[in-house]
Structure 1
Amino acid sequence: MRGTTPERVAAALERNDPLPGTAGFAGRLDVESSALGDGPCLVRDVLGRQPIFFSEHDPSAWGFDPTELEDPRPLPAGHVQRLGADDAAESGSQRVWTLPNPPEFDDDETALDAVGDAVLGRVRAVDPADTAVAFSGGVDSALVAVGMPDAPCYVAGFEGSHDIEAARDAAEAMGRDLRVVKFAHDDLTRAVPEIVAATGRTNAMDVQIALPLYLVAERVAADGYERLAVGQGADELFGGYAKVANAPDDHRVDAETVRGATREMVATLPAQLERDALTLRAAGVEPVAPLLHDDVVAAALRLPGRLLTDGEERKIALRRTADGVLPDAVAAADKKAVQYGSLAARELDRLARRSGFKRRMDDHVGQYVRSLADR
């Protein structure tokens, strides 16, 4: 079992508790549980923070690395899957946890105190041994860095990219050691096939997001660090997207409220976290995501829309947590999505066009990615 003990997972099943105080878990559960019946099973937490896979052809085969299985299938978040079931009807996965939908906090002061306690408590609880910080200069990664004051911070991108410039400014303001991982086109063409092999994904967006993660993690591993602390989950949990701020008028969300749109974003986390965990592990480091701990998730789910975004400022509750903890400019800093802030998306598009995959072609970057993976 990764992420916690089998006994805690079994207890969470008995209590039907989707947020039992962990940072996510997955693995084989042999502890007897009346909720599951007899026999071992696979289990994955409600947000899918630890990916796990099984084989449809061999009911007893499973693993954390899909490359070790024939025809691997991810176990959905919040599900269990019986191992070794002879009956096909028993071999399918079943949902045992759903994300809770708690009421809003009674008042803003209580809400902000709860978020502050959860966020600062979890970032300060990270074991700094052999750990580096992925640092973009935004409030998410800066808060993670606060918990490890002596850990080196790494930023990755092409020279002149937004992320490198923002990270340099933030690191100077915070007095932090910043190590810059600069990309070249050869880095992208080398890394793309390795990312595809690790994740099984070839769509342009997934690969563009994974590229800077993979390349910075390679450097972190080469420098001797075993873990990389990341700010994953902050945008989804705390209202960091423009489409959330524009709800219900943005066609990209179905919800009628900011709070509902935020829940839609949280529901996208399992697929994202699977990609990112597999990418970072393939590069040689283990991800650490303190902003995705159950304590933080539980507090964020109770935020009213006005503490998520007011249409102009986003991640309001998270930024109020940063007040007095981070320099004002860092607490207020905006960030770009990693594929754009690092210029990985722009330069992968440029390489695709140079290789004959023109923008008039359908999914021209995806076609280029698949051509690199097939070499």
Structure 2
Amino acid sequence: MEERTSANAAQEPPVGADEFIRLDNERSGERMPKELAALVEGRTLSITTREKFDFRSVEPVPYDGDRWQVKLPEGTGLVMPGRTSGRLSVDEVGRAAVRELGESGELAASRPAWVDYEPHAKVSAARTTVLRRLDGTILEPHYGVFGADDRQVYYPGGYPWTCVGKVYVWDDWGSPYPAWSGSGVLIGDRTVLTAGHMCPWGSGNWAMQFVPAYYDGVSTLGRGVSSYVSDYYGYDTDDTVSAWDMAVLRLYTPLGVNYGYFGTKDYDSAWEGGNYWTLAGYPGAVAGGNRPSRQMWWPVLDDDGSGSAEEVEYEADSTPGNSGGPVFGFWSGLPYAIATHSGGSKTTFLWWTIEDTNVGAGGGALNSLVAWARSNWPA
């Protein structure tokens, strides 16, 4: 089975539901190369200390049958801290984009030959959290849900759904628990795309972790399949403008080489109104954020430009935890992101609501940022 790649004209729209249904799930029948399997098969525990410590003095102590305890020094973190972060100028990113993008206007998606292709994932009804007041009245849904919540829980059993994952963020790696979490997607050999506001800007001792195909506490790809983030970067533009709310993460482990990744395309306003798009991620209101959910076949309603960035507007349902999830369509059976989910936007005049939508950050700026990451962070 050959690796599936695509290079379509930028103006060609993605497939709709009628064409998508004709795609077949395919089992690979091939095995991952041993050298790649070794990268994710090891059960490695990351331990970081603020002060120098001789771990040879640590003695495991049995406490319950075949279970052991290890007493670690004060200030120990059980995560792998990040190294660098920063904001890039549009010009700096643009130079990398010229090299990577050429005239195609897209960055290719990749599915390795040993990865199962499963466009039609198993789905179940969304387990949405319903809150009630003391008198029994049901509270209104979270902001960002339009009418009934149409998100579906799915089981990530194959490409492309296994590329979407959960992002954990520590603003202090010494903390035993992450400060917040959201969503992201593999977008290169060792690159993840997420929302800019997901990153711990300003922290000097941060850590981030990406778990692809996260489902009930572990990855469906294997219990040890995840990677901490070594570096993250976004734009140095106005971070209050949602069109620029995007960031790329460099993984210590090149998970994209093992499991494939999404491509990207520059959003074309000619696609407006077409029911082409999908939003996937890990909102806390659906299955407690422990299982991924998605909403498919909805339209982009409008797009507003800010330089090379585009604020893509839609009424796909989202709540906290969806941030950083990919907004994408399918071309030739492969997934291409046009935006990363940012949040919601409401415009009012006096007591009237003029506009009420969810938004993603996309446009040429997204293509360029991913191109910069792929160029600077090879496998």
Q: Which has the higher strand share?
A: 2
TM-score clears 0.5: no
**TM-score, length of structure 1 as denominator length:** 0.30
Higher relative contact order (CA 8 A, sep 6+): 2
